[in-house]
Amino acid sequence: MRIESDLKLDFSDVLIRPKRSSLTSRKDVNLLRTFTFKHSRKVWHGIPIMAANMDTTGTFEMAKAFSKSRMLVALHKHYSEAEIVEFYERHDEEFLSHVFYSLGLVESDYKKLRAVKKAVGEKLWAICIDVANGYTEVFSSYVQKIRKEFPDLTIMAGNVVTGEMVEALVLAGADIVKVGIGPGSVCTTRKMTGVGYPQLSAIIECADAAHGLGALICSDGGLQVPGDVPKAFGGGADFVMSGSFFAAHDESGGDLLERDGKFYKLYYGMSSDTAMNKHSGGVADYRASEGKTVLVPYRGPVSDTIKEILGGLRSACTYAGAARLKDLSKCTTFIRVYRQLNNFYTGSEVKN
Ligand code: 5GP
């Protein structure tokens, strides 16, 4: 047994220190980024915020709404082959440049990827290979196999939280490594297994490893307030993924539920009982559910939430003196805090 006693931080442990800047208005901040991916050599241009590949958020409808803001959606993997093919065939190249196709490690996912790729060709340009635990050898070999078979695909793979595993996945063929174990709002991994890593430190350490090899990272999960988005980018994340921010909107999956005259949608982990009952015929005997199900008040169209997040990010850039999102990380100085929010009126807000 070993104990690491270096300090590891979460978003709520820090604030971004304001700095003098020559920016006159948050309107002048440029949130667009252009990346050339290490292996695929594809060029991507847009705002690097992504909706999670959960069946509640990674929907076709979300992709349509997000592409208007040049943001990304990782589609969930439970659409049928026919639905996915139809989706890719109906849209133009600019729209599809904001869409990632997702798959896991099971044979049927691999077969579906091959079939969809064969049917739609170049239109499928980016994939997200997603497993809860990206530390297994089988996973690295799988990434390697897919990279070999599809040299032109942009591959995002994860999840991991430490530099050495980021390096292993980049060397196996990942262009982007997805970072986060246990920070999610509907994730119970830390509770059920005791395993995890504070998300801001995971970002800082994994970004350093990936950037050293010319690759990128996507911070996945754990954002609780819009101010966590600039903290993730400030820590070095190239992309930021969220599920909870985009749950319970018109574009989110699931039906609107009514309880005592108020409207809600369900949001649940992809390893929760709800998801496993829906997609896998129940929780297998050898495993425990590692996700929970929550009822989230209905929030209307996602465009309002997008405006709020991008507004917060622009404002953070002006406070930190970054004219471009690209500069935010080098302009960021974090200060450690023991208390970040004043919660005096929490629960009493009036919605206009
Ligand atoms: P959130 O934005 O809600 O904080 O986190 C979303 C992320 O949580 C997803 O992108 C995914 O990485 C992770 N996640 C989704 N479902 C589950 C689950 O059932 N268990 C665990 N451990 N993580 C989950």
Nearest protein CA to atom 10 of ligand 1, as residue: 52
Residue 270 CB less than 6 A away from ligand 1:
yes
Q: Pick from 243, 245, 242, 234: which is nearest to 316 by CA?
A: 234
Q: Six-digit token pair at 118?
A: 């064969």
* 290 confidence band (pLDDT: 50, 70, 90): confident
Distance 309 CA to ligand 1 centre (A): 19
Tell me how far apart the alpha carbons of residues 246 and 230 are, in angstroms, rounded to a whole number.
17
Q: What pLDDT digit, counting tens, does each position of 158-171 carry?
A: 999 999 999 999 99
Nearest protein CA to atom 8 of ligand 1, as residue: 184
Q: What is the mean pLDDT of residues 109-136?
A: 98
- DSSP state, residue 101: E
Instruction: Tell me how far CA of residue 169 lies from CA of 108, 114, 132, 139, 172, in angstroms.
Output: 22, 21, 14, 9, 5
Distance 74 CA to ligand 1 centre (A): 13
pTM for this prediction:
0.97
Residue 269 CB less than 6 A away from ligand 1:
yes
* 22 confidence band (pLDDT: 50, 70, 90): confident
Q: What is the mean pLDDT of residues 177-190?
A: 96
Q: What pLDDT digit, counting tens, does each position of 266-284 carry?
A: 999 999 999 999 998 887 7
Distance 82 CA to ligand 1 centre (A): 26
Write b or e for each residue in 196-221: b if 16 or more Cβ atoms lie within 10 A of its Cβ, otherwise e: bbbbbbbbbbbbebbeeeebbbbbbb
Residue 184 CB less than 6 A away from ligand 1:
yes
Place of tokens 């440049």: 97
Residue 352 is predicted with a pLDDT of 67
Q: Pick from 253, 181, 168: which is nearest to 215 by CA?
A: 168
The DSSP secondary structure of 198-260, one letter per residue, reads -HHHHHHHHHHHHHHTT-EEEEES---STTHHHHHHHTT-SEEEESGGGTTSTTSSS--EEET
Q: What pLDDT digit, counting tens, does each position of 316-339 carry?
A: 999 999 999 999 999 999 999 999
Residue 52 CB less than 6 A away from ligand 1:
yes
Q: Quick one: what percent of the chain has pLDDT higher than 90?
A: 91
